[in-house]
Amino acid sequence: MKRRMLFASLILVLLLTACSNAGNGGNDSSAKNGGGKGKNDAKETITIAWQPNESSGDLQETRDAIGKMIEEATGKKVEHFTTTDYIISIEALTNGSADIAYMGATSYVEAKKKNDNLVPLVVNSGESGTLDDASYYGWLAVRQEDEAQYKEQDAYSINNIAGKRFSFVSNSSTSGFKVPSNAIVSHFSKQDAYKDLTVEDLMEGGSGQFFSDVVYGGSHQGSAVNLLTKKADIAAFCDTCVGNYVELAEGEANRPGALYKVIEKAEQPFDKLAGEQFRLITVTPVLNGPFIANRDTISEEDFKAIVDIMTSEATAKNESIFLPEDSEKSGLFWKSGDAKFLPVEDAWYNPIRELSN
């Protein structure tokens, strides 16, 4: 996506906000609660905004289970606002069109800059049941047939990515933009030829640019599809967002050199890509994203009730929210080890803020 496309997206958001009726990217209902109404005590509905990665139809059961849980805790109706654009979900939360959102860490940090009354509710833990391993993995991947270009002796490397076509997710994505772009700059700026390289230089491709072309998937799934359909030579996306569509074919999961392939009968947008393979060339741990509340529209009572229900043992055992590891369903969270939701403070995301410094 070029800068003009980013500008167009921003204009779209402004228009949608002005009309108080943002577009809905899925089968769930659109946001109907306007901002500026004070605390949520006077409202009968809580709206949850979902980013593109979590807005697909195959994740509706998880969204509905989370909504039902919040309804039981607050006594209020929950509506889901699914989106096709990171910017729309961020704006919906910051302006009060949505009361809660589930976002990646970078989107949360961006939203917090716009509205300081946004507060994390909970985050999903790691297998330990603590914040110590509350992370997922950001991947840089190449097509299996091209892997030799990125291999040096027995290891994979990004040394040969300059001049290639690259796919990011969105510049509001943590593992799909913020982390990989900073890693690329850190790696190449040590060379004289790229000593002045900046993250902004990676946002567009073309003559004289670091990449010959840069495309954006709009979601992690979309970025992976850009790679497999040969719109890009290298792509950034994360393990959890494509885990419902691919399986490990060779190597160790979430390690450089691992080979993955698209499963048979994969849901859209992988439905025509069964058997296609990609190789991981870098793997980076990334902080899990939070559920966030807008304290302009969520009361103290409801905030506490939602945290209590989300961190309860009943929620941790809810197989529609934390799917068993052997489940064949699609889901957002998996019951690996002692995985659960935990309260989280804003300061936990300071490492993500530091990537922008």
> What does the pLDDT read at residue 2?
37
Q: In what order do the strands lie in the sheet with 290-294?
A: 77-82, 45-50, 100-102, 290-294, 118-124, 341-343
- Position 24 pLDDT exceeds 80: no
152-171 residue pLDDT tens? 988 999 999 999 999 999 99
> What does the pLDDT read at residue 37?
39
- Position 108 pLDDT exceeds 90: yes
Q: Which residues contact 75 (CB under 8 A, 6 or more apart)?
A: none
278-318 residue pLDDT tens? 999 999 999 999 999 999 999 999 999 999 999 999 999 99
What's the CA angle centered on 87, arms 165 and 303, to 5 degrees?
135
- Residue of 228, 227, 207, 225 lying closest to 166 (CA atoms): 227
Q: Chain-centre distance of CA 152, in angstroms?
A: 31
> What does the pLDDT read at residue 131?
97
> pLDDT-derived band of residue 237, with 50, 70 and 90 as boundaries?
very high
Q: What is the mean pLDDT of residues 199-219?
A: 97
> What does the pLDDT read at residue 42?
65
Q: What is the mean pLDDT of residues 95-102?
A: 98
> What does the pLDDT read at residue 355?
84
Cα dihedral: 89, 94, 99, 100 (round 10):
60
206 or 4: which leads in pLDDT: 206
Helix axes 86-94, 105-114, angle to 10 degrees: 40
Domain boundaries, the chain: 3-129+288-354, 135-287
State how far the Cα of 117 lies from the Cα of 304, in Å rounded to an integer: 15
> pLDDT-derived band of residue 328, with 50, 70 and 90 as boundaries?
confident
- Position 74 pLDDT exceeds 60: yes
Do 3-129+288-354 and 135-287 show the same overall fold? yes
Is 3-129+288-354 CATH 3.40.190.10?
yes
> What does the pLDDT read at residue 134?
97
> What does the pLDDT read at residue 323?
96
Express as a percent the part of the chain with pLDDT over 70.
Answer: 88
Residue recorded with tokens 């409801």: 302
pTM of the model: 0.82
- Position 8 pLDDT exceeds 60: no
DSSP 263: P
State how far the Cα of 3 lies from the Cα of 203, in Å rounded to an integer: 8
187 or 22: which leads in pLDDT: 187
**Exposed/middle/buried for residue 11 (C-beta within 10 Å: 0-12, 13-18, 19+):** exposed
- Position 229 pLDDT exceeds 60: yes
> pLDDT-derived band of residue 43, with 50, 70 and 90 as boundaries?
confident
> pLDDT-derived band of residue 41, with 50, 70 and 90 as boundaries?
low
Q: What is the mean pLDDT of residues 256-260?
A: 97
Where is 6: in which H helix or E strand?
helix 3-19
Domain range 135-287, CATH class: alpha beta
Partner residues linked to 247 by β-bridges: 261
> What does the pLDDT read at residue 357?
65
Residue recorded with tokens 């946001």: 31
